[in-house]
Structure 1
Amino acid sequence: MIINTYVKFAPAVFVAKCVEPHEKGEIITLTSKYGNETEVKVHNLVRQQDGYYFYSFTRCDGMNSQVRAMQKVERYQSYADNAVKRSQKYLESANEGKDFLSLGEPIKIGHHSEKRHRALIERNAQRINKSVEEMYKSESYKSKITYWESMADKIDLSMPESLEFFEFKLAEAKEIHQELKANPDKRAHSYSLTYAKKAINELEKKVKLAKLLWA
């Protein structure tokens, strides 16, 4: 049985590792290291090595890094909502015996009510602590939501549209570099021109890789 697998090709980019050649547009099945199978569409041959063929691909189900990011957002939002609900529930249950406790009655040492009184205060204290813990969990999930929301708008090299995107960003970076080169007074600091050239170099690498993957 022929098994096609995934292999990392570049940051955020996996390609299909195949034992047989395939045509562009062909639908093949990739198997993950966990045994999960996914249908993908073949794009470009990016490497041929040691008897294997390596192809860029897109998933037939439309799943990409942006979709995965939005799924993360939805998942963490659900976690945060549930944590808030649990926090509120603990807070409400901490009102047990509030009419009695609001009287400010001191614990009567040695009285038959002492044990019950202390247990009530301890239960409510634990519930308050649990309520606070759940609110902290909610805030932690919200910070993750913020991160994944930012990732949902990110275009990376795993997407075919990255070629057009990085070509545009490269042209934009070259214009900025040329503007700073021609007008020293527009440089915010002594390294402005250096940073502008560095941005060009990095984008040129991304465009080169994007062309290999998706042109």
Structure 2
Amino acid sequence: MNTYYKFAPNVFLAKCDEKHEKGETIEVTTKYGKENECIVFNLIYERDGFYYYSIVRADGFNVQEWAKQRAERRHEWATSAVQKSCEYYNKSNKDKDFLSLGEPIKVGHHSEKRHRKAIDDAWNNMGKSVQFDEKAAEHERIAKYWEQRANTINLSMPESIDFYEHKLEQAKEYHEGLKSGKYRREHTYAMAYANKAVKEAKKNYDLAVKLWGDVY
């Protein structure tokens, strides 16, 4: 049985008890017992009789699609909350014609109970309307966040090779620019930070190539 193995942040390999070829489609089982069809890329290493391969879902599902689903779900919840807010708002105005007259409660009169209930209902329903309106706004805020995340590229994706290659080129250019005087050093540690950024970008690029590049 092939299972998922966490290799790096955002990256899961297929832990297999048999060898596979690049491009081969295999079933990989989650810890919850769900099987996903995955496409094999590169053999990352062998250990204790198991083979660890970089993989992608055959159906194209990845971190971007996951983020899109989260955004869509939040939009649906926001729409539902708006509908409930409107419903409670309409309920709060059920007795508006009577209450708009501004008549005082006639204590002891047969209308007292109805009058008080109308005021309480209007107040409670308006409160619920506001609550659901706030929930809708919060759902939309989170939906916007996930929509932005839908453009994320990380090491779990073959596209990360080009992405991190570009990041590495940018980091090198900025580092060289600091040394040549092209860019101003904003603080004492500017060079150290720039050098660290180059090393980090190189590390990510090399890992992306190892995971998704053509290995001969």
Bin of the TM-score, shorter chain as denominator length? over 0.9
1:6 alignment partner, SS class? strand
Provide the C-alpha distance between the structure 2 equivalents of 1:190 and 1:147, rounded to a whole number of angstroms: 35
**Aligned residues: CA RMSD:** 1.3
In structure 2, which of residues 133, 141, 153 is the aligned counterpart of residue 135 of structure 1?
133
Tell me which amino acid in the other structure corresponds to 2:56: T
Which residue identity does 1:72 align to in structure 2? Answer: R
In the alignment, which residue of structure 2 is the partner of 1:111?
109
For the residue of structure 2 that corresponds to 1:193, the secondary structure is helix
The TM-score, its normalising length taken from structure 2, stands at: 0.94
Q: 1:44 pairs with 42, 45, 66, which one?
A: 42
Of residues 2, 5, 24 in structure 2, which corresponds to 1:4? 2
Equivalent residues in 2 for 1:168-187 (5 A)? Answer: 168-183=166-181, 186-187=184-185
| Superposition deviation, residue 184 in structure 1 | 7.2
Match of 1:85 in 2: 83
Q: Counterpart amino acid of 2:94?
A: E
Task: Give CA deviations for 1:89-122 in whole Å, capped at 9, x if unaligned.
Answer: 1111110111110011111111111111111111
**Equivalent of residue 12 in structure 2, options 11, 14, 17:** 14
Deviations 1:43-102 (A, max 9, x none): 111121122111111111011111111111111111111111111111111101111100
Partner of 2:68: 70
- How much does 1:174 deviate? 0.3
Q: Which piece of structure 1 moves more, 26-35 or 180-189?
A: 180-189
Go from structure 1 to structure 2 and tell me whether the alpha carbon gap of 1:140 and 1:106 turns closer, same or farther (over 3 Å shift).
Answer: same
Structure 1's unaligned 5+ residue stretches are none
Supply the distance in 2 between the matched residues of 1:42 and 1:94 (Cα, whole angstroms).
59
- Amino acid aligned to 2:198: I
The amino acid of 1:4's aligned partner reads N
Unaligned runs of 5+ in 2: none
Q: Which residue of 2 aligns with 1:204?
A: 202
